[in-house]
Amino acid sequence: MKKLMRRQSQKRQPSVLCLERFGSAGSVHLSVQTCVSRDLCWRIASELVRFSYMRMKYLFISWLVVFIGSWVMYVQYSTYTELCRGHDCRKIICDKYKTGVIDGSACSSLCAKETLYFGKCLSTKPNNQMYLGIWGNLQGVIKCQMEEAAQLDFDTDPEPRKEIILFDKPTRGTTVEKFKEMVYGFFKAKLGEQGNLSELVNIILSFADGNKDGRVSLPEAKSAWALLQLDEFLLMVMLQDKEHTPKLMGFCGDLYVIERVEYTSLYGISLPWIIELLIPSGFRRSMDQWFTPSWPRKAKIAIGLLEFVEDIFHGPYGNFLMCDTSAKNLGYNDKYDLKMMDMRKIVPEMNLKEMIKDRPCESDMDCVYGTDCRTLCDQSKMRCTTEVIQPNLAKACQLLKDYLLRGAPSDIHEELEKQLYLCIALKVSANQMEMEHSLILNNLKTLLWKKISHTTDS
């Protein structure tokens, strides 16, 4: 009898086990009779467990995608609203224009006729607004400063601005002659004693006459004075007749419009920031070089940069220093002529020396302006020296090295590499630096021109 009961218990065991598994996994109620074997029960239970697991997995992945997508959109929106403040910029400028504080050639189109529009935001710093603009049937780039220009500070970006004291000069009652004296004194302090400062003053007054009525009004003078505090604007005015400087189209207050350039970086491709984080820096540099024009066109663009370096090296208004030689600051048009996209960190040598003179330091790293203007720290005095170590040409050659050597014709590759390394090795303190500077610059231009002068690409 006992043996019979044990056999019946063993026969029921698979069915009970099956029922328990179904109950825990899928909350499914099955009759004992549905389970004919232990293997069948396990298979059905496993399928239900797997289905439940897959459902939870897909729910989790969906939630994760929604969370990450929302976070990316929030970060992008926050970044955009912080960097792109074109509405605020336009409001400040137009309020000043409508109250008669400022005037300029672009004011009416921007604030009254509304034929000057802000397009795509290109800003990289909140206090330096930059937008693609449409002015009637012309395209340009709008640049606007959000705060008042101050002295150069090596710990911050150049030209931070505070709107509180914007457009406070010249004051009411200032005559044109007095304004000319103000501008002349400003140039003398910034550029040093140059023989042709009076000519530069006349250029500024001609530009300030926005409506071309032959006289400069007080609102126009206030706009011109605010613009003169910007190194980029000053350099643009001085180099307006040069090929590689974008043309000034108009101004209103310290907002100004320049010609649009088709290609806004020397090389590379713009990627979403989240992808940028995943790409190693070495591979990113190599990848940038894949997205460049043909070699003859690269050579023509490079010649343009060398010519620009020549333009600002001991030019008619002194020497200017390139303190951020970055591919992002250079562009070119559809004819592959180089255009300077951002000249905010090209500063007068005299001005920079005055700012860095006797600056306290512990190492050479304390004596850096921008990314490329470096002087030495005098350890005996614990003060920065005033002589910038590397000339503009050496910085330009460093930027052009990989750009030109990649894809260079084999018959000039070795000579080109040699000239570029000689160029990079240039030091300001070297004996006969100016002679070496001119020699290397001419050698590079000649080498490149000889190779591309007969090609259609150039």
Least confidently predicted of 16-20, 130-134, 344-348, 410-414: 16-20
pLDDT value for 10: 47
Has this prediction a pTM greater than 0.85? no
Q: What does the H/E/C string look like for the chain?
A: CHHHHHHHHHHHHHHHHHHHHHHHHCCCCCCHHHCCCHHHHHHHHHHHHHHHHHHHHHHHHHHHHHHHHHHHHHHHHHHHHHHCCHHHHHHHHHHHHHCCCCCCCCHHHHHHCCCEEEEEECCCECCEEEEEEEECCEEEEEEEECCCCCCCCCCCCCCCCCHHHCCCCCCCCCCHHHHHHHHHHHHHHHHCCCCCHHHHHHHHHHHHCCCCCCCCCHHHHHHHHHHHCCHHHHHHHHCCCCCCCCCEEEEECCEEEEECCCECCCCCCCCCHHHHHHCCHHHHHHHHCCCCCCHHHHHHHHHHHHHHHHHHCCECCECEEECCCCHHHEEECCCCCEEECCCCCEEEHHHHHHHHCCCECCCHHHCEECCCEECCEECCCCEECCCCCCCHHHHHHHHHHHHHHCCCCHHHHHHHHHHHHHHHCCCCCCCCHHHHHHHHHHHHHHHHHHHHCCCCCC
Q: pLDDT digits over 53-97, tens only?
A: 677 777 777 777 776 766 566 555 555 567 888 889 999 999 999
What pLDDT band is residue 8 in, cutting at 50, 70 and 90? very low
Is 212's pLDDT higher than 60? yes
CA distance 210 to 205: 10
Least confidently predicted of 157-161, 279-283, 300-304: 157-161
pLDDT value for 163: 41
Of 211 and 398, the one with more pLDDT: 398
pLDDT value for 256: 96
User: In the chain, what percentage of residues exceed pLDDT 90?
Assistant: 48
What pLDDT band is residue 454 in, cutting at 50, 70 and 90? confident
Q: Would you say 226 and 338 are in contact if contact means Cβ atoms under 8 Å apart?
A: no
pLDDT value for 128: 85
Is 239's pLDDT higher than 80? yes
CATH of 293-452, one of 1.10.510.10, 1.20.1250.20, 1.10.3720.10, 3.40.50.11540: 1.10.510.10
Mean predicted lDDT score pLDDT of the chain: 82
CA distance 302 to 295: 10
pLDDT value for 45: 67
Which tokens sit at 225? 């004075």
Domains in the chain: boundaries: 2-81, 85-259, 293-452
Most confidently modeled range among 48-52, 60-64, 314-318, 434-438: 434-438
pLDDT value for 49: 66
Q: pLDDT digits over 327-371, tens only?
A: 889 999 999 999 998 998 999 998 898 888 889 999 999 999 989
Is 26's pLDDT higher than 50? no
What pLDDT band is residue 235 in, cutting at 50, 70 and 90? very high
Q: What is the mean pLDDT of residues 255-265?
A: 91
Is 1's pLDDT higher than 60? no
Q: What is the mean pLDDT of residues 360-387?
A: 92
What pLDDT band is residue 48 in, cutting at 50, 70 and 90? low
Q: pLDDT digits over 217-229, tens only?
A: 999 999 999 999 9
Q: What is the mean pLDDT of residues 191-211?
A: 88
What pLDDT band is residue 110 in, cutting at 50, 70 and 90? very high
CA distance 364 to 272: 35
pLDDT value for 37: 62
Of 417 and 1, the one with more pLDDT: 417
Of 268 and 298, the one with more pLDDT: 298
What pLDDT band is residue 321 in, cutting at 50, 70 and 90? very high
Is 23's pLDDT higher than 50? no
Least confidently predicted of 36-40, 46-50, 290-294, 299-303: 36-40
